[in-house]
Amino acid sequence: MNNKKHIIMRSLILVPIIALSLCSYNVQAQSNETVKQEVNADSNSQNIKTIKFKITGITCAGCSNGIYKAIKAVDGVTEHSVEYPGDIAVIRFDKTKTSMETLKAVIEKKGYKVELLKDKV
């Protein structure tokens, strides 16, 4: 009986530790910092558009890092940032290569709710 209690206590301690480890795996963002990357834009400035999204559902820096990487993978994104806390994404993109709808869909595909705050920042 004492052995069963020992196993249960171990499980109660190890499960949260493993869960936290998986959530924070490969997190590059810090909770109070804005993740930013600038990419050289060869496009004409007339084709560059800036949008600002409010993203609902970000609970940790790992979430913002996942969103950051998803946006980065979209062809045409020239500069972007994802703020946590704050839950805001500001994205500059070449509108001849991608669209606001595509960017919104990429974030929603990750499981977040996205709302357009500003068409121009």
Element (H, E) at 118: strand 113-118
Q: What is the pLDDT of residue 46?
A: 86
Measured distance CA(78)–CA(75) in Å, rounded? 9
**pLDDT under 50 in the chain at which residues?**
25-43
Q: 52 to each of 26, 42, 71, 92, 100, how far by Cα in Å?
A: 26, 22, 13, 9, 10
Is domain 34-118 given the CATH code 3.30.70.100 in the classification?
Answer: yes
Q: 25 to each of 20, 44, 60, 66, 91, how far by Cα in Å?
A: 9, 38, 12, 11, 25
Q: What is the pLDDT of residue 45?
A: 76
Domain definitions of the chain by residue range? 34-118
HSE-CB for 19 with a 13 A CA cutoff: 6
Measured distance CA(10)–CA(116) in Å, rounded? 46
Q: What is the pLDDT of residue 30?
A: 42
- Nearest CA among 105, 101, 120, 117 for reference residue 48: 120
Sign of CA dihedral 107, 29, 94, 121: positive
pTM recorded for the entire structure: 0.62
Q: What is the pLDDT of residue 118?
A: 65
Q: What is the pLDDT of residue 35?
A: 46
